[in-house]
Amino acid sequence: MEYLRLRSGGKMPIVGYGTYLTTGLELEIALNKALEAGYRSIDTASGYGNERSIGKVLNEWISSGKVTRDELFVTTRLPIYGNRAKDVEKYIKESLKQFQLDYIDMYSIHTPFGVFQGDTTDYTKMQRDDSTDHLKIWKAMEDQVDKGLIRAIGLSNFNVRQIQKILDHCRIRPDNVQNEIHLYLQTPELIQFCQKNEITVTGYSSLGMKDGRKLLGFSWANEKLPEMLENDVVVEVAKKHRKTPAQVLLRFFVQNGVSVIPKSTNPQRLMENIRIFDFELDPGDVRALRSQDAGEGGRIVRFLFFPGITEHPEYPFPIQF
């Protein structure tokens, strides 16, 4: 396994295990398989509703001596409906309770905008909170680092302008930015900006989130884009290296210093997704893969299920492109 060094002094595995849209027994079985395959970085969020299942498995592995706590890297995020400074400590402590852990390795703001939860768990019924204040939320997270409840802090779904605002006013700098990054949304400017500022970058939806798109009704803005795993360029590069298309897609970003968090509940694919360190893409491969970037036309996740969210003052993505 390769690692990314954090400014805070820790190190983060460059390949992690994503857990979005997986809960309960299915997740427990898959996470056990992932740990057996060698994954040590686990990515989730308070809003995923699966921290308890993750904590159960991790504690079983720790108590049995299969791993130590220091070998694990656990990432979770402040819920979108908790995007207020006064709520930060409450949700961190709730996550720790669910995990049954003493600290969280990486805690991030899930989105730059906030909503009011009210008495519903249905995102489509949550109302916009236009008072979102990144700097106050960030300071509250810095305070939790001081208390030892979290080791590093980061941002998710933020654009360059929003990240720069944090950098201009923070006491503790962001250690990570996690955004949607994949073949059709390569975000080179964001990656370069973060790496220049010594912020590690994690890409989510690296393989296209096919099942999630079907379940949630997400789609690329450019509906003519083929599935990433079936993209002709990806398939040809995979044949050349005798690898799977998924391994090529993951290697493409890892080779550029971007961490990935692929999700699978299939044991064979779990193994394949982490076995990407025994080959290297050559400059021709990289050029061919870069040519597939569709920019904003390739974005999958726009959070449009939140009513009127594009009118939030901190909505991070272009509305027209």
**CB of 77 closer than 8 Å to CB of 108:** yes
**CB of 311 closer than 8 Å to CB of 128:** yes
**Which residues does residue 152 pair with via DSSP β-bridges, in sequence order?**
106
Residue 107 among the catalytic residues: no
Q: Is 134 annotated as a binding residue?
A: no
Residue of 173, 116, 178, 139 lying closest to 307 (CA atoms): 116
How deeply is 255 buried, as exposed, middle or buried, from its count of CB atoms within 10 A (0-12, 13-18, 19+)? middle
**Strand, coil or helix: what is 56?**
helix
**CB of 320 closer than 8 Å to CB of 314:** no
Q: Exactly one of 3, 17, 39, 48 is catalytic; which is it?
A: 48
**CB of 215 closer than 8 Å to CB of 21:** yes
Q: Which two tokens stand for residue 26?
A: 């299915």
Active site amino acids:
48
Annotated binding site: 110
Annotated binding site for substrate: 110
